[in-house]
Copies of this chain bind each other. A is one copy, B any other.
Amino acid sequence: MIQIRTDLAIENREIYKEKNDGEVPGVEVEEDSGDNYTVTRVKILDEIGEKHLGKSKGIYITIDVPKLKNTDEDLKDEISQLVAKEIKGMDIVKQNTKTLIVGLGNWNVTPDALGPKVVERVLVTRQFFIAYNKEEDETVANVAAISPGVMGLTGIETGEIIKGIVEKTKPDLVIAIDALASRKMERVSTTIQISDTGINPGSGIGNKRIGLNNNYLGVPVIAVGVPTVVDAVTMVNDTMDLIIGSMKNVSKVGTEFYSTLEQVGNEEKYHLIKEVLEPFMPNVVVTPKEIDSIIDDLSIIIGNGLNMALHHGIDLKDVNRYIR
């Protein structure tokens, strides 16, 4: 079982492969790539795969776009389209699917505000279907959206709020957007994970205790997440590896120390660092300086992606027009 904190299936796979040869058992992997991106689809097929990756059975699509941080608007449009294509490829969204979009996270904490920001940017239409008493429309699908807040703000489990709304409004599909934690700073704001497994307890940068998944809500749940933070322990851990690795060839003592550390094992080392760090820095996050504008950009990319994936009459030409 993997202990290092990450919400990305692709990172759990990397950790597995650092220690073992060959692909994770019970897991199938598919890759696609363009000039600017790589798409990796990790399919966890069975309980063996679940156990090895510490994640539920299902598909985890990771879109890696190293240059996403730069403000190249054409690239952003390209990635919006890719998000739409991958969601459509899951074969859950049909022309008249009724969708509830849920923006998870705390709007007062910048790196946790991705979900609420995406909700502000999607085209909400359910009210018109009700007002005109329609079941379907030529251009748009029936979409509702809410940001339920976090338990620290409302006193209520997010899952309970959403379950109540699902029972009342009976959507065919829930799409939940959340900010994630990654173990690598270079993934922050450059990786988008889309999964058909929903969101499970303990994932995301807040602490959810109830899962948002088919099992609990009774409808399919697509989760869309982007890493916006790295936890401090992970960062120190990875940097020490880099430092000591770079020293290993410099001095004999370095080499010996490195092999000592290597024997310690990753998990043990992680916990050692955690123990040392914790008294000095509880609840520290590591985040890019310009996280506010990164969250803004990402919310446009994902908002556009969702608008194109859900509303059959909206394409790239229109899509920036629906974004506020």
Contact = CB atoms under 8 A, between A and B. Distances in A.
Nearest to A283: B289
A108 interface: yes
Contacts of A130: 157
Contacts of A168: 156, 160-161, 163-164
A266 interface: no
Interface string A240-276: 1011001000010110110010000000000011001
B185 A284 contact: yes
Given A164-B167, A185-B284, A296-B324, 8 more contacts: A156-B168, A156-B169, A186-B281, A246-B272, A256-B256, A281-B286, A283-B288, A285-B287
Interface stretch (A28-36, A79-87, A144-152, A195-203): A144-152
Interface of A: 73, 108-110, 124-127, 130, 142-146, 148-149, 151-157, 160-161, 163-165, 167-169, 184-186, 232, 235-236, 239-240, 242-243, 246, 251, 253-254, 256-257, 260, 272-273, 276-277, 280-281, 283-293, 296, 318, 320-321, 324
A168 B164 CA distance: 7
Number of identical monomers bound together in the oligomeric complex: 4
A321 B257 CA distance: 52
Secondary structure class of chain A's binding surface, majority of residues: helix
Given A160-B168, A164-B165, A284-B288, A124 B155 contact: yes
B153 A273 contact: no
A284 B289 contact: yes
Nearest to A296: B324
A285 B286 contact: yes
29 contacts: A124-B152, A127-B152, A127-B156, A146-B154, A146-B161, A156-B168, A160-B165, A161-B164, A163-B168, A164-B167, A167-B167, A185-B281, A185-B284, A232-B286, A236-B236, A236-B243, A239-B276, A251-B260, A253-B257, A254-B260, A256-B257, A257-B257, A281-B286, A283-B290, A284-B287, A284-B289, A285-B286, A285-B287, A293-B324
A299 to B, nearest CB: 11
A256 B251 CA distance: 11
A239 B273 contact: yes
Given A253-B260, A286-B284, A289-B109, A156 B164 contact: no
